[in-house]
Structures are given as C-alpha cells and as structure tokens.
C-alpha cells in the first residue's frame, strides 16, 4: 500500500471521516449538556455511542493498556463508570441508559442481531455444509435426551 492509502485508512473512525465522527460526537455531547437530547431509544443510543466510541479508540491506542488490560472495551466500561460516578453525565441520561439496557433488554436484542447477521453473511455452500453437520448432532442430542429422560423416569418412578 502506498502512503496515501494508509493515510486514508487512518483518517476513518468507524467508517466515517474522523472530523465528521468527532463533530457528530460533539453535537451529541452539546445536546446532552443543554438538556435537549431526547431520552428515547434514539437519543440514548446516540449518547451511548458518543461516549463509547472515543473511549474505545483511546483504549485501543494506549500501548500497555491495549495489550495487558483489555484495550478499548475495558476503558469504555471504566471510563463510563467514572463519568457516572463523577456526575459528568446528567442524571436523566444515566437513568435513560439504565432503562435502555435493562428494561428493554437491548443486550439480548443486540446478540440476536449479531448472530443473525453472522449466519446471513455466510456463503450458501458453507451454510448448507454446516447445517448438514449440525442437524444430525441436534437430532442425536434430542433423541439422547429423550431416552435418558425415559430411563430416568423408569428408574425413579
């Protein structure tokens, strides 16, 4: 790769030019501090991303932190916890994030989307080969569980 190609890759932040991502994050911060950011799903998700993206990027770039502590993910957890502890995030948004993650069960939804996206992105031939391997294993597990359940029922009445 040439230097210009490397420079173009380095100037992206989650697929966006760094300046655009930074401007978007600053707009979300400003809206939150002015109290005009909504506490619905869209506003809460925007704030969560505006907090997580910079912390993740910083954590990935700290030399010892990224190799031995856990990188961006751990800094995102610890940094967000520190922001909440020091009341940097307004209380109404802290509450909306808690509701978003707990009451709406967003994490379960996100995991389902990841798994579905992974399965749908597979090549058709690989998907058919994996089903050919999984279906007998699943059916064998169901039959084995049924037989062991029947056996346990007969032994213990």
Q: List pLDDT tens digits, range 99-149.
A: 998 888 888 988 999 999 988 888 888 888 888 888 899 999 999 999 999
Pick the range with the lowest mean pLDDT from 3-7, 60-64, 107-111, 132-136.
Answer: 3-7
As given in the structure block, the two tokens for residue 65 are: 């932190």
Q: pLDDT-based confidence at 54, cuts 50/70/90?
A: very high
- Mean of pLDDT values over 75-90: 95
Q: What percent of the chain has pLDDT over 90?
A: 68
Please, is 78 exposed, middle or buried when counting C-beta atoms within 10 Å of its C-beta (0-12, 13-18, 19+)?
middle
- In this model, does residue 35 exceed pLDDT 70? yes
As given in the structure block, the two tokens for residue 40 are: 């619905």
Backbone angles phi, psi at 15, to 5 degrees: 85, -5
12: left (phi over 0), alpha (psi -120 to 50) or beta: beta
pLDDT of residue 12: 84
pLDDT of residue 149: 95
Q: Whole-model pTM?
A: 0.69
Average pLDDT over the chain reads 90
- In this model, does residue 1 exceed pLDDT 70? no
């Amino acid at each position: 790769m040439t230097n210009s190609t490397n420079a173009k890759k380095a100037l992206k932040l989650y697929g966006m030019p760094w300046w655009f991502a930074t401007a978007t994050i600053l707009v979300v911060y400003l809206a939150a501090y002015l109290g005009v950011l909504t506490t619905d799903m869209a506003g809460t998700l925007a704030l969560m991303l505006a907090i997580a993206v910079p912390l993740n990027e910083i954590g990935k770039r700290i030399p010892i932190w990224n190799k031995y502590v856990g990188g961006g993910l751990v800094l995102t957890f610890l940094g967000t916890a520190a922001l909440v502890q020091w009341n940097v995030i307004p209380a109404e948004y802290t509450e909306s994030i808690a509701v978003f993650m707990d009451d709406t069960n967003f994490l379960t939804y996100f995991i389902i989307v990841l798994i579905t996206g992974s399965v749908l992105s597979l090549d058709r031939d690989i998907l058919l080969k994996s089903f050919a391997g999984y279906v007998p294993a699943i059916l064998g597990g169901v039959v084995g569980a049924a037989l062991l359940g029947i056996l346990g029922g007969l032994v213990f009445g």
